[in-house]
Structure 1
Amino acid sequence: MPARRRVATAASVAFVGVAPLVLTALGAAPAAAHGSMGDPVSRVSQCYAEGPESPKSDACKAAVAAGGTQALYDWNGIRIGDAAGRHQELIPDGKLCSAGSDAFKGLDLARADWPATAVSSGSYTFKYRVTAPHKGTFKVYITKEGFDPAKSLAWDDLDLQNPVATVTDPAASGGFYTFSGTLPKRSGKQVLYAVWQRSDSPEAFYSCSDVTFGGASTGGDGGSTPAPSASAPSEEQIEDGADESTVEHNGHGDQDASTSAEPVAKTEANQPKAAGTTENLAETGGDSSTSYIAMGGAAALALGAAALFMSVRRRATDGTRR
């Protein structure tokens, strides 16, 4: 085989071999963070606490009937990977609690009997249950006075101009981000909508928490039957259900719940390191930046191989013409 042809063949093989790697790298989404509001407990966490296979409240039973049990096992995965602050643009009215995801559609059911946390106006300490901490900003919004809990939640139902809590990079401790806010004067059943926008990735997380001001809320029939009181899942429940989850607890790099960015003992499952620890890639943003570095390296290799391939072909063609 002539030397020129051998070089051209080698360049072609290099290009063909590297190209799939580039496509794979470019198609890989940044790893996901995970969490949901723990106090006031979110709808999905409440239903998970009741038991995905046999929920107790009518609302959670209806949610499972509509969307299946997997959504509850994946309680910490209501997210949009490329949100980048475009929450209203990406999530349509009536689908705020699911973040527009069909997998969590049961959480969008319009009914007044969702289990609720009793609250009152004034200062409130929010606790966000996190299984993979990241830097970012939390904003918590509340529905406007006169909100009808028996109707689907829409963006216009929220007081977007006056979030009840806003905090950036709170410290994670004991499995929770804890931060303060102020609840305004309201009455009856309301909804708190939490948005966690990461700063080390465009990914954002969402959750709906049902609350009631001034005592027990009425049930779905509009009568005097109180809606059940909400309660968060225990650490034991979270650990027991981790094997059924399709999202990673403490891990990053893909959507395989059985893998993680660093070895984590079974007894440490769902116990994130405190914010600021350099060994936790999730907290420092190492998971997403590492992905981008890999993409850039693969792209550079592909471009180099393509350039070599085209150069050799041009020389071979010129030699033939001579």
Structure 2
Amino acid sequence: MSLRRRIAAVAAGVLAAPLVTVVLPSAPAFAHGYISSPASRQAQCARNLVPCGDIKWEPQSVEGPKGLRSCNGGVARFAELNDNNKGWRVASTGRTVTFNWTFTARHATANYEYYVNGQRVGNFSGNNQQPPATVSHTVTLPSSGRQTVLAIWNISDTANAFYSCVDVNAG
């Protein structure tokens, strides 16, 4: 093959690569999501309301095995989400609170669970369907006063869930 043909072949490959990327189907997206309001701990990090590490850049990525009861979903690099003394902003709410999830990539959902002090206070089916870009649930908290709500988004076709903690002062 002559040098001219080699250069032409390389140039054709370089020009075709972006088209192939657009035309070929992509791999399925991984699920990612968090509670955006009232502002979860990771939402506060993303908004620079509280100084944080890596979670600031990816509030939607607190993913861990189903069944955990921690704000960081067992992810060591997000351990600061478990620190109750970090200065989290506390949302003033009534005893009935609407939690709004934001999804950056959606995945079929088994259910959403809400816990206060280890007690489940809300459970909403996802009907094994892909959720819309945002989802809201209204939960009645068991008591008044300051509390941390652990919200869990259980994915239906993986062994993982997404975790989000929200600090509230229920009046």
Structure 1 length normalisation: TM-score? 0.40
**1:206, CA displacement in angstroms?**
0.5
Distance 1:121 1:108 in 2: 23
Q: Give me the identity figure in percent.
A: 28
Distance 2:76 2:86 in 1: 21
Distance 1:134 1:197 in 2: 10
Bigger-Rg structure (1/2) = 1
**1:178, CA displacement in angstroms?**
1.6
Alignment of 1:234-245 (within 5 A): none
Count of residue correspondences: 141
Which residue in 1 is equivalent to 2:105? 132
Specify which of 116, 130, 153 is matched with residue 196 of structure 1: 153
Alignment of 1:148-297 (within 5 A): 158-159=118-119, 163-169=120-126, 172-173=131-132, 175-187=133-145, 189-214=146-171
Alignment of 1:53-92 (within 5 A): 56=49, 60-61=50-51, 64=52, 68=53, 70-80=54-64, 83=65, 85-87=66-68
Q: CA RMSD in A?
A: 2.2
Alignment of 1:302-313 (within 5 A): none
Is 1:120 the counterpart of 2:77? The answer is: no
Distance 1:183 1:193 in 2: 12
Output one character per residue of 1:112-139: Cα deviation in whole Å (capped at 9) or x when no partner. 73101111123x3221111112222100
Name structure 2 gaps, 5 residues minimum.
1-27
Structure 2 length normalisation: TM-score? 0.72
Tell me if the contact between 2:108 and 2:131 (Cα under 8 Å) persists in the aligned partners.
no
Which secondary structure does the structure 2 equivalent of 1:98 belong to? coil
Which residue in 2 is equivalent to 1:43? 41
Tell me if the contact between 1:34 and 1:133 (Cα under 8 Å) persists in the aligned partners.
yes
Output one character per residue of 1:48-94: Cα deviation in whole Å (capped at 9) or x when no partner. 112xxxxx5xxx22xx3xxx3x22111100002xx2x3425xxxxxx
Name structure 1 gaps, 5 residues minimum.
1-29, 51-55, 89-95, 144-157, 215-322
Structure (1 or 2) with the greater strand fraction: 2
Cα 1:48/1:206, change in 2 over 3 Å: same
Distance 1:112 1:185 in 2: 23
Tell me if the contact between 1:32 and 1:203 (Cα under 8 Å) persists in the aligned partners.
no
Structure (1 or 2) with the greater helix fraction: 1
Distance 1:209 1:47 in 2: 12
